[in-house]
């Protein structure tokens, strides 16, 4: 999610009476010491947020130099984002990377799809373990993403026939497992 979209989401949160993170930071840190937080054209210092519906990592600079250093690290892939994911089907050991374009689905579904079109994306995989049981076969993967496209991991794994387990948005209803 880019800074503009993040800020728009914060504005919507403020409208529903919950305090946005940018508002909380401005309340906690003075304008004199941290003028960046009062700069809407610079997204109040926010650079990136992972996993928007959850409590994912938030990158925010509170000084101009801090924001520029974070931006440089993000743009030159110095910041690594790593995840552990349970997915459907046994993952072959030779599957080390998924490189496929990520494009948006329809405006109503808010899903992303891997394949033709969209923006380039790369996910590096390491199979950690496999399990088979009455509900099927599963793999546990360590995944490092170089790019940060919306729903990149979900789209890449689905593209390779390894939909994330318990994912009602992306996994086929016939393979969806609850309470894994």
Average pLDDT on 134-160 reads 88
Per-residue pLDDT, 9: 58
**Mean confidence (pLDDT) of the chain:** 80
Per-residue pLDDT, 76: 85
* The model scores a pTM over 0.85: no
Angle between helices 21-28 and 3-15 (to 10 degrees): 80
Buried b (16+ CB within 10 A) or exposed e, 136-162: eebbbbebebeebbbbbbbbbbbbbeb
Domain ranges in the chain are 3-75, 81-159
Classify domain 81-159 at the CATH topology level.
Pseudouridine synthase (3.30.2350)
Gap between the Cα atoms of 37 and 26, Å rounded: 6
How confident is the model over 120-129, as pLDDT tens digits? 999 999 999 9
Average pLDDT on 27-37 reads 92
Q: What is the DSSP letter of 100?
A: -
How confident is the model over 51-105, as pLDDT tens digits? 544 456 788 888 999 999 988 988 887 877 788 999 999 999 899 999 999 988 7
């Amino acid at each position: 999610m880019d800074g503009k979209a993040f800020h728009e989401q914060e504005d919507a949160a403020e409208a529903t009476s919950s305090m946005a993170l940018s508002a909380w930071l401005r309340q906690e840190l003075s304008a004199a010491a941290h003028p960046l937080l009062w700069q809407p054209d610079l997204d109040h210092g926010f650079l990136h947020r992972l996993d928007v519906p959850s409590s994912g990592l938030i990158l925010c600079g509170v000084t101009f130099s801090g924001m520029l250093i974070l931006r440089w690290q993000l743009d030159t892939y110095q910041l690594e984002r790593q995840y552990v994911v349970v997915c459907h089907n046994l993952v072959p050991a030779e599957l080390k990377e998924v490189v496929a374009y990520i494009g948006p689905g329809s405006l109503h579904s808010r899903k992303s799809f891997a394949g033709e079109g969209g923006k380039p994306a790369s996910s590096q995989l390491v199979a950690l373990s496999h399990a088979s049981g009455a509900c099927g076969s599963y793999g546990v993967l360590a995944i490092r993403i170089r790019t940060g496209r919306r729903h990149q991991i979900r789209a890449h794994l689905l593209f390779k026939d390894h939909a994330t387990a318990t994912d009602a948005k992306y996994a086929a209803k016939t393979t969806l497992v609850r309470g894994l």
